[in-house]
Structure 1
């Protein structure tokens, strides 16, 4: 039994589930953990393609970043409240928290989740409600399709406490002004991925 599994077995959730304090007692060298509505989510190690998509999007956001007020991070824990600490694939947050881990959700401008087979419902539904409740103004959901060699992106914007689609799952060139002007050539990224999968 691993140290992480043994520690999880020792934890006793309260009436509302586990807390951030419980989460922080788990070994840092174990699996990827998130705390969602009092439940500790143990995610399998991400695939190389999943990490590539997150890294490429983070890099494009960083290259378009107009100043130093915000930074772009990947796979970092964000504390929302006592029972919620997700770990988004990409996050744009205040540079004042550059050296903090985890950091508070206050001031987070954008969260990006790359959907994998084990996270589809969590990324498209559960986290959508969670990030809206936390007041994150912009939320992108990225859906790769390895069979069709496409990458689709949905841009959601917070209005009156709920997200609405500003862009509904485009697989073309995505352009937005939020959190700053950026262009993401999804067909080019999909083609690059296909070349890795089927090298000549």
Structure 2
């Protein structure tokens, strides 16, 4: 058995904190912090996932009004022990080329494209954590036979939890966080067999 590299050892007995991620240049890309534990995205990314993220980024950027930005693969510092990295973020934070994370109050929508290795975290853990942080909108995109299906959630203020706001196939129309109209069938080409 080989020894762990030094950078993989927590810097303190309490484990990892959000600010530690910025001091781990050796960590693999897409390293997240969930409940003080480092989560590495080690599985190869599916082409379908990448196509959905790219096409959705372009579609949202084309529709976003002034004051909104679409960010890819940037962490959100939910609290001292949680810094997940969603696939897409709709934010009102001003552009800063040196930014490495967003604050929850600057995030209007978080989008996760579900992969086999992230399914549990995307459907349960992150759903709860983003709501607890007060992020008003969450989309979880599933692969249904090659077609994207968008599960939309809105934050219910009195309970502090997400309430389902619809499941969308073929097309999606949403008034918040800004007017969004998507032809879901055009987001990822289906294979020819």
| TM bracket, shorter-chain basis | 0.7 to 0.9
Which one has the bigger helix percentage? Answer: 1
Contact 1:157 1:164 in 2 (8 A): yes
Give per-residue Cα distances to partners, 1:138-184, cap 9 Å, x unaligned: 00000013xx232110110001211001113x222111011111111
Partners in 1 of 2:26 and 2:96 — Cα distance? 19
Q: TM-score, normalised by structure 1?
A: 0.85
Partner in structure 1 of residue 108 of structure 2: 109
Give per-residue Cα distances to partners, 1:49-89, cap 9 Å, x unaligned: 2111111111111111121x121011111212110111110
Distance 1:24 1:98, change over 3 A: closer
Contact 1:97 1:103 in 2 (8 A): no
Structure of greater relative contact order (alpha carbons < 8 Å, 6+ residues apart): 2
Contact 1:64 1:181 in 2 (8 A): yes
Question: How far 1:134 moved relative to its partner?
Answer: 0.7
Alignment size in residue pairs: 188
Partner in structure 1 of residue 171 of structure 2: 173
Q: CA RMSD in A?
A: 2.2
Question: How far 1:94 moved relative to its partner?
Answer: 1.9
Partner in structure 1 of residue 72 of structure 2: 74
Contact 1:65 1:180 in 2 (8 A): yes
Partner in structure 1 of residue 156 of structure 2: 159
Give per-residue Cα distances to partners, 1:105-144, cap 9 Å, x unaligned: 2221000000000000100100001100111000000001
1:50 aligned onto 2:49: yes
Where has structure 1 moved over 4 Å in runs of 4 or more? none
